[in-house]
Amino acid sequence: DTEVTQTPKHLVMGMTNKKSLKCEQHMGHRAMYWYKQKAKKPPELMFVYSYEKLSINESVPSRFSPECPNSSLLNLHLHALQPEDSALYLCASSQERGVLYEQYFGPGTRLTVT
């Protein structure tokens, strides 16, 4: 089973709202990732967690706050977003960090900021 699940599938939020995106995998993977994808563009890496610790933050604004409560779960907390943050947010997991491991992606959350 190579399934990564994400909730919600769609999210509309105002600029003053606080919301969270959730990602879950039960493959025993130790690396988890958040990507942002704008329309007709490839995904852009935001955060990498390895063994539940934040390994990489790709200079993402602080209005995005990741959290890894345990090895199966990854959250992305959103606060005071801007309309330009509207995008598809993809979660991925990998057995380990490293070039030899494939990343499996979830179905994504389509976020619209109004």
Binding site for another protein (CB under 8 A): 2, 33, 37, 40-43, 45, 48, 55-56, 88, 90, 92, 97-108, 110
Beta strand residue intervals within the chain, DSSP E? 4-7, 10-13, 18-25, 31-37, 44-50, 53-57, 64-70, 73-79, 87-94, 103-105, 109-113
Considering beta carbons, is residue 43 or 113 the nearer one to another protein? 43
Considering beta carbons, is residue 75 or 107 the nearer one to another protein? 107
Considering beta carbons, is residue 84 or 99 the nearer one to another protein? 99
Considering beta carbons, is residue 4 or 78 the nearer one to another protein? 4
Least distance CB 53 / another protein (angstroms): 13
Residues 29, 46, 57, 99, CA torsion sign: positive
Least distance CB 71 / another protein (angstroms): 18
In DSSP terms, 17 is beta-bridged to: none
| Cα–Cα distance, 99 to 21 (Å, whole number) | 27
